[in-house]
Amino acid sequence: MRERLYILTLSLMFTASLAMAQRVESERVSIAIRSGANLQKFEERDSDGRIQKNHLLPGAHFGMDINIPVSSDFHFQTGFLIINKGSKGVGETKTTIRLSYLEMPLNLVYKKPWGSGYIMLGFGPYVARGFGGHVTTGSGAVEFSRDIKFTDPAKDDGLSWTPYFERMDVGANMFVGYMMSSGLFFQVNTQQGLVKINPTYNQYPGDRSSIKNMGFGVSLGYKF
């Protein structure tokens, strides 16, 4: 049900973006490609609601942006991004969780001329769908790796060794960057997940555990 709601919301927002595009000349709509590196970790609480510490995990992202002008200073930005997220645990026996997502940002971007290019400031929500990942646990030379399974928590009893996560993620993102007149641009990104991605097991009604994605990164791209 939650996944269907996300898909419906995504469809409505994308339809709204196409309506905005009809207000401007089609040749002003632009496409950009970008890639870069990011550092991610979990904002995590245990079953009692206590905050858990995690280390940042390096990852990468790449994808395409679609920029639709709304006015001379603002444009709506969407697109698709493949991004690695996850977290690295603390302690002697370290657990590293890596998740891969197909992400769609829905940003409002402000552009201000500066020098021969533009300063860019963007913010808005994102919707992401997980498509892969694994958990590695170990100490020293001994490690044990398990593939992640995305599942409806109501179908799992919480007793399996298989690591389970919710497939859908929703959050907010913000970036600041600079675009040169040639179309080459650089930006710094930050994200905060707004929904928990760990499943809720029905047999533990008092469980207050929560895992949310968070992180930041840098991107280099080119606008066509």
CA-atom Rg of the chain in angstroms: 19
* Rounded Cα–Cα distance for residues 219 and 168 (Å): 24
Per-residue CA distances from 64 to 45, 50, 147 (Å): 34, 38, 28
pTM beyond 0.75: the answer is: yes
Q: pLDDT, tens digit, for every residue of 159-171?
A: 567 788 999 999 9
Position 160 scores a pLDDT of 63
Q: pLDDT, tens digit, for every residue of 172-206?
A: 999 999 999 999 999 999 999 999 999 877 666 77
> Phi/psi of residue 9, each to 5°?
-60, -45
Question: pLDDT band at residue 4, thresholds of 50, 70 and 90?
Answer: low
Q: pLDDT, tens digit, for every residue of 35-68?
A: 999 999 999 998 888 999 999 999 999 999 999 9
Q: Which helix (H) or strand (E) holds 10?
A: helix 2-21
Q: pLDDT, tens digit, for every residue of 72-127?
A: 899 999 999 999 999 998 877 789 999 999 999 999 999 999 999 999 999 999 99
Position 190 scores a pLDDT of 97
For residues 144-170, one letter each, b for 16 or more C-beta atoms within 10 angstroms of the residue's C-beta and e for the rest, the string is: eeeebebeeeeebeeeeeebbbbbbbb
